Chain A
């Protein structure tokens, strides 16, 4: 570790650690889950780092608007850390941030298909203003264009154009956004993988360990969902998943696609994974044992990543891993927070919500 590395990461690490300290604690999570109503939840959130984003009149804070406001915290964390992080790690953070750009693009395409207006779509998007290739202006132009093909033509200047313009033929033939969304997901992760490859030393090692694991988990879950929910053929599952990964190998994906026992495959990849042996009885709201198994697996995998991220803060601090770990933890926190907001808005019973939100590892 050179002096320059220490200097380069000094400021951003101090900032990251300050932000890390604002992550929700298990006690706060407990209070949020136990909140008796949506209003009570807002009251609890007001005392957290998210409070600053919820200072709007109560009647404006619908569940959808609340989610939108909560996303601002992630936006500002990303934009702040990208600004402070030295190159080439910065490029990886930018690429990681663009996952939300891809999500916004997918939401826009769905909006076009359902004929939604900008006002209807805007609050479904993640607020993004810096380090983006797809601006709000682009999204408005896409929505105004009326058709998917014309909308794609309007984003020629973005890296997504080539991906979408090739995949659009399948959309036109099948009238289904699935091929467009999968093409975007796959290409996004290819670019992310390339960004990791651009790093060296500890930065590369840590990025591979954290982002690589996250890519692995996405890949595994895709393969499983394609098999369980979409009933795709072996060939389709292979083509709709990634050929690379940190610990997940092609053979693992092929095994899942060919019908191998999922738990066995996952245990082979992650022998230390905990929580897979949880009750096999489906909870209320889960329709099948397979669905329950998938939910349990998802929880276990995300817990695994969460622990990896937490562990990153204990070792050598002068690498990109610190920023990646914090941002990934914040992403998981936000994802679960959105689930809590939606659960409270739809008055989901507390015990059901408590079974969905995993707070043990936090």
Chain B
């Protein structure tokens, strides 16, 4: 729980014929983290199988075609299957999608054409509407001898330019209507300038709308005929849509199944492309949890007795590249999520999740102490964690975080004697922050000191686990840092008259010695860990830097500790905010009146929502910046078991620079 699972590096030697079945078995096992390698263990350059590369490219193209058909038939991808579907060869998938494309093509093309026709007819109506009252036969406008007439639509941005381009030609441009970025216009000119006018209109993107010959008579008569045409087209569209809906109903399962088969096959081909390929065998390297090694061997043995599984000794270059599989109880998944948001723990460092599960609710509760508000949060958290609301199921892990924060707020609420902001319902078991401000601030500092110390102890443990003895002892977050910190605290407490069992002189000597250790930390660390040269810079620079290093350590310990004062300040603010709610409630109505209670309820909801959010952010800030920064470097590699069921839309992720 405190450390990622122990890992073993394994290498599989797979005969060519067994590669598909073995890969499928590895993916189904859920315990194998594959490392795509570029070098075989023999040091020979890796050879990538062309066949699998072709598969990858072909399947990617097929996937695209399937998605296109699905999009046209308005079918979504659906949820990924629980078990990997059977592998499909690209040519088989191609044949299948070709048939489906052919089936869907006719109604879709017809539908598209009908929709375009409808748009065109609607455009005609829109253009004729402004001249609907004219008693002119449109036929005469089509065959004018001396006048050039062009009715059409043009981007509004181009109108001025068109006018400017026709500066030396007689013309009249009349805007009939605006619709979005387009305008309906009529361009008049002389027939003798028709060539220039046409070229100008075309280059200004004035799209003419030549009314089909079928529409004759006055504009009003043409509009009536167009409306009838629109009605007919709508009917056609409806028929095509029904046909497509029928097709969708028939093919939905087929298309989804095909899509996931292609995706799984693509993932398989992609995985094999990442294997080292020798003459007739594949070399596959990866990590497996030590506890699951025997199971992996068993699974592979069931597939084939020709596949060899070898355990490799981790090499120097593996350090920092071992995936970390965090092993926490499922109810801590919310806290684990908060930890991985900050950074993925390294394989060789402690998992901060248990520490966070302990400290996060504590810090939150201290700032948000109220039995009623805590109870509401607890209920919301339990509701989320219980997966009762379908839409919020993905937030179930976070529900535990909310519930524990609520429970902690209830405990502190009992200590502070506060329920829904009422401070006179029951006696505070401890004290009321609003009345004892100094006490709550001091308490916050004490909690801060304990948290900082816990962070330093975590760092000491991490250093010890990695056998970085120099860092363990002399680092500012190591033993020397901890002793220095506590010596200063002891001296500070004595200065304020607090009885400390250790004499001041002892504290000063211990603090001074640890201070010297911190000042020359780099020198001592290099000395202990056999790193040379002992000092990187020249002595003068080193001494100057060392002095400032100590000064910075002092300042940062001081500011880190003071940072926790905010916990007390928020506890006071929580009480004050509730007080404000009651003052407003009493201004609105007498105590006990409806107005009073409405304000109290709304005020409480505001405090829970608004202040709860701010306190949550502050808690996260204290955890991330004041606590994690002491010991947690992050940057680890998460354990990702090989899978042939990729997440939707993950296959065509953008490539990198290729370098």
Residues of chain A within 8 A (CB-CB) of B168 are 234
B656 CB → nearest A CB, Å: 9
Interface size on A, residues (CB 8 A): 42
A136 to B165, CA, bound (A): 39
Binds B, one of A32-40, A237-245, A307-315: A237-245
Does A209 count as interface, using CB distance less than 8 angstroms?
Answer: no
Does B333 count as interface, using CB distance less than 8 angstroms?
Answer: no
Does B178 count as interface, using CB distance less than 8 angstroms?
Answer: no
- A-facing mask of B169-192, CB < 8 A → 1, else 0? 100000000001110000000000
Does A357 count as interface, using CB distance less than 8 angstroms?
Answer: no
Tell me the nearest residue of chain B to A117, going by C-beta: B61
- Determine which residue in A56, A234, A239 has the highest number of CB atoms from chain B within 10 A of its CB, and name it: A239
Does B51 count as interface, using CB distance less than 8 angstroms?
Answer: no
Do B181 and A162 have beta carbons less than 8 Å apart? yes
Binds B, one of A94-102, A138-146, A296-304, A321-329: A138-146
Residues of chain A within 8 A (CB-CB) of B200 are 233, 235-236, 239
A252 CB → nearest B CB, Å: 13
A142 CB → nearest B CB, Å: 11
Does B527 count as interface, using CB distance less than 8 angstroms?
Answer: no
B185 CB → nearest A CB, Å: 13
Binds A, one of B152-160, B270-278, B503-511, B577-585: B152-160
Does B539 count as interface, using CB distance less than 8 angstroms?
Answer: no
Residues of chain B within 8 A (CB-CB) of A54 are 659
Partner of A136, one of B57, B112, B167, B652: B652
Does B164 count as interface, using CB distance less than 8 angstroms?
Answer: yes
A145 to B204, CA, bound (A): 28
For chain B, residues 618 to 659, give those with C-beta under 8 angstroms from any C-beta of chain A: 652, 654, 657-659
Partner of B199, one of A69, A129, A150, A236: A236
Given contacts A56-B658, A136-B652, A144-B68, contact A233 B207 (CB under 8 A): no
Given contacts A117-B61, A166-B153, contact A53 B202 (CB under 8 A): no
For chain B, residues 94 to 138, give those with C-beta under 8 angstroms from any C-beta of chain A: 112
Main secondary structure, interface of A, reads: helix
Do A53 and B165 have beta carbons less than 8 Å apart? no
Does A3 count as interface, using CB distance less than 8 angstroms?
Answer: no
Partner of A190, one of B157, B182, B658: B157
Do A239 and B165 have beta carbons less than 8 Å apart? yes
Residues of chain B within 8 A (CB-CB) of A250 are 164
B300 CB → nearest A CB, Å: 33
Residues of chain B within 8 A (CB-CB) of A72 are 657-659
Partner of B207, one of A53, A55, A153, A169: A169
Does A137 count as interface, using CB distance less than 8 angstroms?
Answer: yes
B270 CB → nearest A CB, Å: 16
A168 CB → nearest B CB, Å: 10
A141 to B536, CA, bound (A): 56
Do B658 and A233 have beta carbons less than 8 Å apart? no
Do A243 and B164 have beta carbons less than 8 Å apart? yes
Do B657 and A238 have beta carbons less than 8 Å apart? no
A153 to B205, CA, bound (A): 19
Do A238 and B68 have beta carbons less than 8 Å apart? no
Tell me the nearest residue of chain B to A54, going by C-beta: B659
B470 CB → nearest A CB, Å: 34
Tell me the nearest residue of chain A to B649, going by C-beta: A137
Residues of chain A within 8 A (CB-CB) of B161 are 238-239, 243
B168 CB → nearest A CB, Å: 8
Residues of chain B within 8 A (CB-CB) of A239 are 158, 161-162, 165, 200, 203-204
Given contacts A162-B181, A190-B157, A238-B161, contact A53 B658 (CB under 8 A): yes
Does A255 count as interface, using CB distance less than 8 angstroms?
Answer: no
Tell me the nearest residue of chain B to A76, going by C-beta: B657
Residues of chain A within 8 A (CB-CB) of B67 are 141
A80 to B205, CA, bound (A): 38
Do B659 and A55 have beta carbons less than 8 Å apart? yes
For chain A, residues 215 to 249, give those with C-beta under 8 angstroms from any C-beta of chain B: 232-236, 238-240, 243
Residues of chain A within 8 A (CB-CB) of B61 are 117-118
Q: How many interface contacts (CB-CB < 8 Å) are there between A and B?
A: 88
A187 to B158, CA, bound (A): 10
- A-facing mask of B64-79, CB < 8 A → 1, else 0? 1101100000000000
Residues of chain A within 8 A (CB-CB) of B112 are 150, 153
Do B64 and A170 have beta carbons less than 8 Å apart? no
Do B654 and A170 have beta carbons less than 8 Å apart? no
Tell me the nearest residue of chain A to B157, going by C-beta: A190
A170 to B203, CA, bound (A): 9
A153 to B109, CA, bound (A): 13
Given contacts A170-B202, A233-B199, A235-B166, contact A140 B659 (CB under 8 A): no
Partner of B64, one of A140, A233, A234: A140
Partner of B68, one of A117, A118, A145: A145
Residues of chain B within 8 A (CB-CB) of A177 are none
Do B652 and A235 have beta carbons less than 8 Å apart? no
Does A183 count as interface, using CB distance less than 8 angstroms?
Answer: yes
- Determine which residue in A52, A55, A166 has the highest number of CB atoms from chain B within 10 A of its CB, and name it: A166
A233 to B203, CA, bound (A): 10
Tell me the nearest residue of chain A to B655, going by C-beta: A127
Does A360 count as interface, using CB distance less than 8 angstroms?
Answer: no
Do B207 and A235 have beta carbons less than 8 Å apart? no
A141 to B160, CA, bound (A): 36
Given contacts A166-B207, A243-B161, A250-B164, contact A233 B196 (CB under 8 A): yes
Residues of chain B within 8 A (CB-CB) of A234 are 165, 168
Do B205 and A183 have beta carbons less than 8 Å apart? yes
Does A282 count as interface, using CB distance less than 8 angstroms?
Answer: no
Tell me the nearest residue of chain A to B160, going by C-beta: A243
Does A119 count as interface, using CB distance less than 8 angstroms?
Answer: yes
Given contacts A166-B182, A190-B157, A235-B196, contact A240 B657 (CB under 8 A): no
Do B164 and A119 have beta carbons less than 8 Å apart? no
Tell me the nearest residue of chain A to B202, going by C-beta: A170
A137 to B654, CA, bound (A): 9
A53 to B199, CA, bound (A): 47
Does A294 count as interface, using CB distance less than 8 angstroms?
Answer: no
- B-facing mask of A154-185, CB < 8 A → 1, else 0? 00000000110011011000000001000100
Partner of A238, one of B155, B165, B181: B165
B118 CB → nearest A CB, Å: 15
A261 to B605, CA, bound (A): 76
A131 CB → nearest B CB, Å: 13
Residues of chain A within 8 A (CB-CB) of B162 are 239
Tell me the nearest residue of chain B to A129, going by C-beta: B654
A111 CB → nearest B CB, Å: 14
Residues of chain A within 8 A (CB-CB) of B652 are 136-137, 140
Interchain Cβ contacts under 8 Å between A and B, 19 examples: A69-B658, A72-B659, A119-B57, A136-B652, A150-B112, A166-B155, A166-B182, A167-B205, A170-B202, A170-B205, A187-B157, A235-B166, A236-B200, A238-B161, A239-B158, A239-B162, A240-B203, A250-B164, A254-B167
Q: What are the 5 A-B residue pairs with the smallest beta carbon separation, nearest first?
A: A235-B200, A239-B203, A238-B165, A235-B165, A236-B203
Seed contacts A144-B68, A179-B205; 7 additional CB < 8 Å A-B pairs = A69-B658, A69-B659, A238-B164, A238-B165, A239-B204, A243-B160, A250-B164
